[in-house]
Structure 1
Amino acid sequence: MEILKEILANGSGLNPSIQIVFFMTFLMFLPTVVIMMTSFVRIIITFSFIKSALGAQQSIPNQILVGLALCMTIFIMSPVISDINKNCIKPYMNEEINEEEAYMQLTKPISAFLLKNTRDEDLNLFITHSSIEDENIPKEDLPLTVIVPAFAISELKTAFQIGFIIYVPFLVIDLVVSSALMSMGMFMLPPAMISLPFKLLLFVMVDGWNLLVKSLIESFV
């Protein structure tokens, strides 16, 4: 984002070829930036946990989970996108604000979303090891170079906590099935083959996808 700010501020004085190089370089990193600054990380990791817990790695294509994660990300991030469009893109296109003001209006809603979902201990970790001299600086004034990695590790921790909760009921089913097979002397029969239908039945009975998606959406509210 700091690079984007410099390009916006000084782009008019650069050679057109250099501007194209900067723009193409920014586009190359854009997917990674979007992924790390949205709800996509938590959602896709949670989906991978549910897929592994069910034992249905081959039954649920990754493309479907990624597509669903992208749709949910757009839905969750829609207020932020609307704010950016209203206060940054439209005024800048209408030449109501300059490049620096456009950058400020661009980063403001993004920073607010990231800080809302970032743990204080993760934020303090990067503040302590950054070049920021004033450690008492307000959160809203922190650069994105500090906020984004703090948000990323917070999302990873949250996703792993959700994954643990998801795994527990399915682990109980695996244990029960394994114990039952061992007591009947069926050592050669794979427990996963028997437990899969029961796990699918449990997931369907509790309306698992609705419950999981609802929980993920509400975790960002």
Structure 2
Amino acid sequence: MRRAWPGLAILTLVAAAIPAAAQDIAPLSPVADLASAAAGGGLGRNAVMLMAGLTLLSLAPGLAIMVTCFPFVVTVLSILRQSIGLQQSPPNMLIVSLAMFLSWYVMDPVLRDAWQVAGAPLQRGEITLDTAFDRGIEPFRRFMADRIDPDTMAALAEVAPRRAGQPLPAAADPEQAPLSLILPSFMLSEIQRAFSIGFLVALPFLIIDLVVSAILMSMGMMMVPPTVVALPFKLAFFVAVDGWGLIAAALVRGYQSG
């Protein structure tokens, strides 16, 4: 019995040491995996791609407003809704969603060019993130340059912040101008063009309002709001001429010819 005590004591010590050794060794396995992944170069590239993807997702709404036709489309659709006399129909979410998908349809060639010259090489690890940005912005720069009003760009260039004594900048080429000048010039040009189209869209509905108002006054029904009576006629007119199809085709065709 006494001979069994030393063996039992050794087994007890070994059993007590196994969990402690496991606690010391277990945290090292993830570190070893990370070290091996970093040595292979995959960890750094995947981390950069993940950060780039999250950054693009956070900036996606701003990019959709700044470098695409979204401002023009959503402004025209909003003016159309106000001209018909509908305050909440279609709702704002539907107007914005329709403008986004129309913008996607218009910008599809530009997006494909940007992916071919920047997105695909970056995904394969052939170029860096800075190079991908420089390449990817060029298709959007050409798109914006074709739509910029020269007078608007010249006006913004004159009021651009500059150092004391620095002369006024000369008329710059939109394709060579900095993005800080191209982006506001493009957005202002798009909004101005949208207001011009909005006037043509609102004019037929204004005529319907005037005709209905004149008829109500001639009938002595001056207490009846003309907008309430004119709303069914404006809706019938819009549906009869296939208004949604005409508006969508006109918006897309304007960018194809531009």
Tell me whether 1:186 sits opposite 2:221 in the alignment.
yes
Cα distance change of structure 1 residues 219 and 88 upon mapping to structure 2, 3 Å threshold = same
Give the unaligned 5+ runs of structure 2.
1-46
Higher relative contact order (CA 8 A, sep 6+): 1
Tell me whether 1:72 sits opposite 2:102 in the alignment.
yes
Q: Distance in 2 between matches of 1:138 and 1:100?
A: 24
Give the number of equivalent residue pairs: 203
Tell me whether 1:126 sits opposite 2:161 in the alignment.
no
Report SS of the residue matched to 1:219: helix
Q: Which residue of 1 aligns with 2:199?
A: 164
Of 101, 116, 136, the residue aligned with 1:106 is 136
Residue identity in the other structure for 1:113: F
Cα distance change of structure 1 residues 105 and 75 upon mapping to structure 2, 3 Å threshold = same
Identity of aligned residues (%): 35
Query: What RMSD, in angstroms, separates the aligned Cα atoms of the two structures?
Result: 2.4
> What are the within-5 Å matches in structure 2 for residues 130-141 of structure 1?
130=160, 131=162, 135-141=170-176
Report SS of the residue matched to 1:127: helix
Runs of 4+ residues deviating >6 angstroms: 22-26
Q: Distance in 1 between matches of 2:62 and 2:159?
A: 23
The range that moved more, 25-34 or 87-96, is 25-34
Task: State which structure, 1 or 2, has the greater radius of gyration over its C-alpha atoms.
Answer: 2
Tell me whether 1:153 sits opposite 2:183 in the alignment.
no
Tell me whether 1:216 sits opposite 2:244 in the alignment.
no
So what's the TM-score if we normalise by structure 2? Answer: 0.72
So what's the TM-score if we normalise by structure 1? Answer: 0.83
Superposed CA deviations along residues 71-128 of structure 1, whole A, max 9, x for unmatched, are 1111111111101110001112223233443222111101001111111111112223
Q: Distance in 2 between matches of 1:59 and 1:136?
A: 44
Residue identity in the other structure for 1:208: G
Q: Distance in 2 between matches of 1:49 and 1:138?
A: 32
Cα distance change of structure 1 residues 141 and 76 upon mapping to structure 2, 3 Å threshold = same
Report SS of the residue matched to 2:104: helix
Q: Distance in 2 between matches of 1:108 and 1:30?
A: 17
